[in-house]
C-alpha cells in the first residue's frame, strides 16, 4: 500500500449504481463499485474515457469505500425512448412515439438525512497522482462533472484530507471494519449481536476495449435503525444538520492488513487487498 491516502466524500440527493446483471429492471448496488470510483477519479483528473483502465488497475490503485447514513431504496418506473434518428425526429416534431417503461431502483437519503453519502479512500503508487487528485478536490476543480451513477444525479465531492494510517492491523487480528469488504479477503467473520450484512457481486476493473474483468463479491454492514445525525462525529467539519456521518460496522479477521485513521475513526480494508 502506498503511504499517502487521499480521503474525500461524494454525496447527492439520489444515487443509482446499476447492477451489471440486471436487464428488464435496473437495480442498484448499495455502494459505488470500484469501476464507478475509477471513473470518478478519472473525471476529476480529466482522463478521457477508455484511457485510464490500466492506470487505475488493481495493481496500481487502491480504493476503499465507507457507506455513511442509512439510505432508503425506492423503485420508480421510468419512460425511456430510443435515440434513433427516426424517434428523435418524432420527438422534435411533437409527434407520438413508442417508449419503454423500465423499473428503476434508486437510493435516497434515510429518515432525517439530506444526502446519500460515501467516504472514499484512494491511494496510487504514483505520489504525483495522489497529490494532483487531492489538490483538485480541495479546490473544487473537477475536469468533468461528477454524478452518482446516473447523469441526472449530480454529485457533490468534498475533500476530507490526506493521511497515513494511524494503526495498521495485521492479518489474522480481530478488527471492526466500516468499509465494504471483498469476501476473498476474509479469513473469518466474528458475528456479535444483531448485524445485518448485505452481500453483492460487483465489477472491479476493466480490460482492453472496456472488457469487464472478473467480478468480486463484497459485503458490508447495514444499519437497521434510522440514523442519529451527528455532524460532529467525524468527516468534514461544519456540515449542516441532516448530513449523515454514522456507519455500519462488522468484526472479522482478514487475510490482509486493515487500516485505522484517527482523522475520522474509520477502519477500512482496500478492495484489492
For the chain, the structural domain boundaries read: 5-268
Q: What pLDDT score was predicted for residue 242?
A: 62
- Please say if the pLDDT value at position 240 is more than 60: no
Yes or no: domain 5-268 corresponds to CATH 3.40.50.300: no
Weakest-pLDDT range from 53-62, 110-119, 229-238: 229-238
DSSP state of 199: E
Confidence of residue 230 (pLDDT cuts 50, 70, 90): very low
The DSSP call for residue 13 is S
C-beta of residue 157 within 8 angstroms of C-beta of residue 137 = yes
Question: Where is pLDDT greater, at 87 or 64?
Answer: 64
Average pLDDT of the chain to the nearest whole number: 87
C-alpha cell read off for 245 = 456521518
Buried residues in 47-68 as b, exposed as e (16+ CB within 10 A): beeeebbebbbbeebbbbbbbb
When pLDDT is cut at 50, 70 and 90, the band that residue 31 belongs to is very high
Q: Which residues pair with 119 in a beta bridge?
A: 9, 66
Q: What share of the chain is helix, strand, coil (3-state, %, to 5)?
A: 15, 35, 50
H/E stretch holding 137 reads helix 127-139
The reported pTM is 0.88
Residue 156's SS3 state is strand
**Mean pLDDT, rounded, for 237-257:** 76
pLDDT > 80? residue 62: yes
Q: What is the pLDDT of residue 232?
A: 43
pLDDT grade for 45, boundaries at 50, 70 and 90:
very high
Residues 98-121 have pLDDT tens digits of 778 889 999 999 988 999 999 999
**Confidence class for position 94, pLDDT limits 50, 70, 90:** confident
Instruction: Burial-class residue 238 by CB neighbours within 10 Å (0-12, 13-18, 19+).
Output: exposed
For residue 101, count other CB atoms closer than 10 A to its CB.
Answer: 9
**Gap between the Cα atoms of 12 and 17, Å rounded:** 13
pLDDT value of residue 67:
95
Q: Give the residue-averaged pLDDT of 199-216.
A: 87
The model's confidence at residue 236, banded by pLDDT at 50, 70 and 90, is very low
CA-based Rg of the chain, rounded to a whole angstrom?
19
Residue 135 has pLDDT above 70, yes or no: yes
* Strand arrangement of the beta sheet that strand 61-68 belongs to: 61-68, 116-124, 5-12, 156-163
Instruction: Supply the pLDDT for residue 193.
Output: 65
Amino acid at each position: 500500500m502506498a503511504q499517502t491516502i487521499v480521503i474525500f466524500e461524494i454525496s447527492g440527493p439520489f444515487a443509482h449504481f446499476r447492477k451489471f446483471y440486471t436487464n428488464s429492471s435496473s437495480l442498484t448496488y448499495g455502494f459505488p463499485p470500484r469501476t464507478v470510483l475509477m471513473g470518478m477519479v478519472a473525471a476529476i483528473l480529466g482522463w478521457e474515457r477508455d484511457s485510464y483502465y490500466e492506470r487505475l488497475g488493481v495493481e496500481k490503485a487502491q480504493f476503499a469505500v465507507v457507506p455513511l447514513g442509512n439510505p432508503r431504496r425506492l423503485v420508480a418506473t421510468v419512460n425511456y425512448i430510443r435515440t434513433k434518428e427516426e424517434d428523435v425526429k418524432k420527438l422534435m416534431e411533437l409527434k407520438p412515439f413508442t417508449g419503454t417503461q423500465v423499473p428503476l431502483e434508486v437510493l435516497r437519503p434515510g429518515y432525517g438525512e439530506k444526502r446519500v453519502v460515501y467516504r472514499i479512500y484512494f491511494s496510487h503508487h504514483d505520489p504525483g497522482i495522489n497529490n494532483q487528485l487531492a489538490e483538485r478536490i480541495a479546490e473544487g476543480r473537477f475536469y468533468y462533472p461528477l454524478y452518482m451513477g446516473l447523469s441526472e444525479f449530480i454529485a457533490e465531492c468534498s475533500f476530507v484530507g490526506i493521511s497515513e494510517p494511524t494503526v495498521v492491523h495485521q492479518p489474522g487480528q480481530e478488527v471492526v471494519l466500516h468499509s465494504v469488504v471483498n469476501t476473498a479477503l476474509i479469513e473469518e467473520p466474528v458475528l456479535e449481536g444483531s448485524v445485518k450484512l448485505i452481500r453483492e457481486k460487483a465489477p472491479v476493473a476493466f480490460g482492453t476495449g472496456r472488457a469487464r474483468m472478473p467480478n468480486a463479491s463484497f459485503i458490508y454492514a447495514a444499519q437497521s435503525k434510522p440514523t442519529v445525525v451527528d455532524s460532529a462525529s467525524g468527516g468534514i467539519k461544519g456540515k449542516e444538520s441532516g448530513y449523515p456521518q454514522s456507519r455500519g460496522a462488522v468484526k472479522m479477521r482478514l487475510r490482509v492488513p486493515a487500516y485505522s485513521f484517527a482523522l475520522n475513526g474509520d477502519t477500512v480494508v482496500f478492495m484489492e487487498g
